[in-house]
Structure 1
Amino acid sequence: MTATTTDSAALRAQLVNRLVADGFLHEPRWQRAFLGVLREAFVEQFTVHDPATGTYTRYDLAADRGAALAAVYSDLSLLTQLDAGGTATSSSTTPSLMALMLERLAVHPGHRVLEIGTGTGYNAALLCHELGDHAVTSIDIDPALVEQARTRLAEVGYGPRLIAGDGALGVAGARPYDRIIATCGLPRVPAAWLAQTREGGIILVNLGFALVRLTVAADGTAGGRFTDYAAFMPRRTNLDDTALTARDIIAAADRDGTICRAPLPDGLDERSLQCLHAIVHPHVHKVVVHNDDGDMYALTDPVSGSWARARPDGNANATVVTGGPRDLWADLTTLAGWWNEAGRPEPTRLGLTVASDGAHELWLDRPEQPVMPLPPA
């Protein structure tokens, strides 16, 4: 990737124009924020992954500013930290998703916002640009990231409240927030967030592979629809944790176990079903291996220690091998059966109600049409 100009302002304008043209950025106030906040101030060295080729390209603003700036102001996720297994644990996410979420949040001057997942600090800077420093609190599990973000924010003139801690606990001790936005993926919406959000306040969070926008009610519950496909890095509970790779998932499912022949439902590879499966069973990891002798589905749940692998036989059935206390293949096929019978709903037809004690119920089209309670995470 090469830059036609090293003028940061010109590149920011090009990015904003693209976000507007592609339908991600509508409001002039957020257009001004993306124009006014220098994204390169929050990254020095970063990596870009090309999913089409599987390749990773490393950029360094000091070594090749032109190429790095071109990447910074493209609609790309900039990976800034990796775990021991090579999985990204911090990034500056794609500007299109950031813009979409900021507009979905419906935040306005006078609101107080809690951001879960400080990361590089760039999203906090965009919030500060619109709301002012005093209105923004951001928390991250990684103290080093928090201090780095604090320095970079100060260098461009922003000073939000930054905290090192577990975002699932929120930040208590102050009057309730008007908005909570999570820039990391979670298995469930923490009950603490409901308690820390005012009546009528909004919580925007990534569950599975989708965003859900919840409004907090007077009785302490929260409810709302899934709005968009999205996938963030999962929230970390331990800085030493290493994420499972595709190789790990395949290895976990490659064991002796109980063998059976089971149905192969339609649509297993459809995006909407994969999204639903990730919402209902957030700790189950799934990959599909394509071989000359046919496909294989590999699933593992490190929380329960369960695993499964399935090889379709070409006759709407599969040879399945399972192990552990849960039958992961039965869980998947049961869910696929409901999804097919319901007309293969997209995530935007689904919604969620969260009780004050943290219980989750999934619904279809309207809250009065419940689908299932979600298992605790």
Structure 2
Amino acid sequence: MTSAAEPLRQRLADVLTEGDWMHAGPWRTAVAAEPRELFLGPAIFRQDGAPDSIAWTPVHRARVSDEEWLSLAYENTTWVTQIDGVLAEDASGPLEGSPTSSSTLPGLVVQMIERAETGPGDRVLEIGTGTGYSTALLCNVLGDHNVTSVEVDQAAAERARKALAEAGHVPRLITGDGLFGAPDGAPYDRLIAACSVRYIPYTWLRQIKPGGTILVTLAGWSFGHGLVRLTVDEEGGASGRFLPGYTSFMIARPHDHPPRGTIEFMPGELRPCAIDPALLDDWSGRFVAQLAAPSAERLGLGDKQILHDVATGSQARTRPSEDGGWVVEQHGPLRLWDAVEDAVTVWQAAGSPHVSEFGLTITAHTQRVWLGAPDGPSWNLPV
């Protein structure tokens, strides 16, 4: 099977280089060498059926041919390996739910590594081991002794440990909450997060050398995402800009919204909308809205946006009006839509730019996302 995989690894390396996911060099060599088929484990999930299907069907390694398994492994595709804590190999049939672990598409994995400006000699802290494939790429170039990886899920961590050992790698692997990092191995040159967070844990800042890099996706409960590259300073703060593209990761479990039951919609104050509610479906538009209402979940789409504030129960609901515009109904102590409109209006006045026109500055007391320049319009993260 190894000999059959070698040309597929080479082809994947070619695809990622030609597709501008990565550049020629040590990371290309790593992609061409590391056996991704091992890291898919005994099974993966595949979402089949109608486009709106929410069922995940397990594909077991033992039930498909070597050729089919290798073909799956060397697609530039994300393969989900766990749904709501259930590993694919433990699923007896299709499941409905949300992915909680995956083998991220190889192009994004190596792009993240390159965007963190990772190179030989660096000591790297990886948050989110997942299947271990990204960890293997890091080990290939940096050496096992320079790689520390933290995974919160015990079953996923053990699965990754076995795959890494089979691939010949023994990095430092920790099972625990990655938001605490790995302080006893600090300081590190780079921190690369394979999960998203609502704000940057201060524990991470204390574990990266001054001048070192943190690469992480900022996210929230309105499904806004932005990949930011931060440089840590001498005072224990950090600053940097969001990067081009459309990167998203599963949110870190401690940063996910709390469990909730059925939401009861309450009557409220009605007024015309000043913005098109569908702007919240735009990648950058919903990022801006999330900055303005950071504790609100977004539940709607298009004309019918729904915001529900987890902390206060405040609500905002939009709908088309008879005159061809839109109206919003707001209930509770927070006027969620007022805050969203103000932020989106500022963004529109700047030309409705992509998230890459934003930056983030972290001090001992605040984490502030700004538009255009550090002294531009800004919003505090919910630290």
- What TM-score comes out, normalization by structure 2 length? 0.86
Number of corresponding residues? 360
Match of 1:296 in 2: 304
1:205 is paired with a residue whose SS is: strand
Structure 2 residue 273 is matched with structure 1 residue 263: yes
Quick check: which one's strand share is greater?
1
Question: 1:316: Cα distance to partner?
Answer: 6.6
Give the letter aligned to residue 90 of structure 1: S
Question: 1:200: Cα distance to partner?
Answer: 0.5
> d(CA) in 1 for partners of 2:341 and 2:217?
24
> d(CA) in 2 for partners of 1:180 and 1:57?
33
Of 335, 353, 356, the residue aligned with 2:364 is 356
Deviations 1:170-191 (A, max 9, x none): 1112341100010001000111
Question: 1:303: Cα distance to partner?
Answer: 3.9
Give the letter aligned to residue 347 of structure 2: W
Match of 1:54 in 2: 52
> d(CA) in 2 for partners of 1:220 and 1:287?
37
Question: 1:273: Cα distance to partner?
Answer: 1.0
Go from structure 1 to structure 2 and tell me whether the alpha carbon gap of 1:155 and 1:283 turns closer, same or farther (over 3 Å shift): farther
Structure 2 residue 20 is matched with structure 1 residue 20: no
Deviations 1:186-243 (A, max 9, x none): 000111111111011000000021110000112221111101321100101299x987
Of 375, 378, 381, the residue aligned with 1:372 is 378
> d(CA) in 1 for partners of 2:50 and 2:28?
30
Give the letter aligned to residue 153 of structure 1: L
2:191 is paired with a residue whose SS is: strand
Match of 1:81 in 2: 82
Of 101, 114, 123, the residue aligned with 1:90 is 101
Question: 1:327: Cα distance to partner?
Answer: 2.5
Go from structure 1 to structure 2 and tell me whether the alpha carbon gap of 1:116 and 1:52 turns closer, same or farther (over 3 Å shift): farther
Match of 2:91 in 1: none
Of 299, 304, 319, the residue aligned with 1:311 is 319
Mind listing any 5+ residue stretches in structure 1 that lack a counterpart? 1-5
> d(CA) in 2 for partners of 1:146 and 1:41?
14
Go from structure 1 to structure 2 and tell me whether the alpha carbon gap of 1:41 and 1:187 turns closer, same or farther (over 3 Å shift): same
Mind listing any 5+ residue stretches in structure 2 that lack a counterpart? 86-95, 220-224
1:75 is paired with a residue whose SS is: coil
1:74 is paired with a residue whose SS is: coil
Match of 2:72 in 1: 71
Match of 1:275 in 2: 287
Match of 2:89 in 1: none
* Preserved CA contact (<8 Å) 2:293 2:336: no
> d(CA) in 1 for partners of 2:333 and 2:49?
34
Match of 2:232 in 1: 216
- What TM-score comes out, normalization by structure 1 length? 0.87
> Percent identity of the aligned residues?
37
Structure 2 residue 333 is matched with structure 1 residue 322: no
Deviations 1:93-118 (A, max 9, x none): 11121121011011122211111111
* Preserved CA contact (<8 Å) 2:116 2:190: yes
Give the letter aligned to residue 160 of structure 2: A
Moved more, 154-163 or 65-74: 65-74
Deviations 1:19-72 (A, max 9, x none): 112111113211111111111111121123479923445422221133333222
Give the letter aligned to residue 124 of structure 2: V
Go from structure 1 to structure 2 and tell me whether the alpha carbon gap of 1:278 and 1:63 turns closer, same or farther (over 3 Å shift): farther
2:300 is paired with a residue whose SS is: strand
Structure 2 residue 250 is matched with structure 1 residue 233: yes
2:377 is paired with a residue whose SS is: strand
> d(CA) in 1 for partners of 2:214 and 2:24?
20
> d(CA) in 1 for partners of 2:201 and 2:247?
19
Go from structure 1 to structure 2 and tell me whether the alpha carbon gap of 1:303 and 1:80 turns closer, same or farther (over 3 Å shift): farther
> d(CA) in 1 for partners of 2:294 and 2:104?
21
> d(CA) in 1 for partners of 2:170 and 2:14?
28
Question: 1:263: Cα distance to partner?
Answer: 1.5
* Preserved CA contact (<8 Å) 1:225 1:351: yes
Moved more, 341-350 or 199-208: 341-350
Match of 1:284 in 2: 296
Go from structure 1 to structure 2 and tell me whether the alpha carbon gap of 1:219 and 1:188 turns closer, same or farther (over 3 Å shift): same
